[in-house]
Each structure stands twice: as structure tokens, then as C-alpha cells.
Amino acid sequence: HVQLVESGGGGSVQAGGSQRLSCVVTDDANEFEWIGWFRPDDKGERVGVAVIDRDGRTGYLDSVKDRFTISRDTAKNTLYLQMNSLKLEDTAMYYCAASIIILQPASRLRRRSYNHWGQGTQVTVS
């Protein structure tokens, strides 16, 4: 049973600062077509923040473009999210998620496209 284990959150970071999240996949991450980071929106629904496929194609939420960068280390089965220029509105629980399905662009940031989830790591910007 695959597990996604997030880390790197906790504590508090000042607005304008940086933080890096990690997600270790306890299986071969290349088995997943898409893997990424999600957080709740204003309505409490998880939305994609940044996602990446096995070929390195990425997708970002508009509000984090040019501030966040997603990357993966296939040798370590680890996914990263480098967050720069953090804003108060970036405060949220961040979840790592993975999909075994080849996704069309319109589906890549949607929660229902992903069927494996981590427990989340809290990011607090103050």
C-alpha cells in the first residue's frame, strides 16, 4: 500500500520568506502519472497548487506562479515544493497527492483526479 509522507511544514515563516516542503512516496513514484501539492481554498475544497508529471510537465495555481516551484527527485521518490515570497494567504495545510491516470490539462489541478493522499503538513505565514 503506497504512502505519501509530507514534511517541511510546521512553525511559522514571515511573509516574504521561503519554505520547502517534501513528500516521500513509499513506492516507485514513477508509477504515478501526476503528483503534486494541494491545499484547501476559501470554501475548504482542496485545489491543486502545483503538480508535475513523470515527464516533468508542470501545472500551477495562478496565485502561486512565479513564487512556487515543484520538482521531483525520482531516485529518492521524493517530491518538493519550494515556496518563495510567501504571503499570508498561503497559510494552509498542504497535501501531497498522486494520480495513476493520464490527465488532461483541465483536470490536473482538480482534487478528484488524484486517488492517493498524504496526511498533510501545515504551512503558517505570519
Angle at 75 (CA atoms; ends 60, 49), nearest 5 degrees: 15
- Model confidence at 122, pLDDT cuts 50, 70, 90, reads very high
Taking residues 87-113, report their average pLDDT: 95
Which of the pair, 16 or 2, is modelled with greater confidence? 16
Q: How far apart are CA 126 and CA 78, in angstroms?
A: 28
- Model confidence at 83, pLDDT cuts 50, 70, 90, reads very high
Residue 4's nearest CA partner among 33, 52, 37, 51 is 37
- What is the per-residue pLDDT across 15-62, written as a single tens digit (0 to 9) for each? 999 999 999 998 776 788 999 999 999 999 999 999 999 999 999 999
Torsion angles phi and psi, residue 118, rounded to 5: -90, 180
Query: What pLDDT, on a 0 to 100 scale, did the predictor assign at position 26?
Result: 87
Taking residues 103-109, report their average pLDDT: 94
Query: What pLDDT, on a 0 to 100 scale, did the predictor assign at position 29?
Result: 66
Answer positive or negative: Cα dihedral of 105, 103, 5, 27: negative
Residue 64 pLDDT > 70, yes or no? yes
Query: What pLDDT, on a 0 to 100 scale, did the predictor assign at position 2?
Result: 83
90: DSSP letter: G
Task: Say if residues 78 and 24 touch (Cβ distance below 8 Å).
Answer: yes
Q: Is 26 exposed, middle or buried (0-12, 13-18, 19+ CB in 10 A)?
A: exposed
Close Cβ partners of 37 (under 8 Å, ≥ 6 residues apart): 21, 23, 48, 49, 50, 51, 70, 79, 81, 94, 95, 96, 97
112, three cell numbers? 478528484
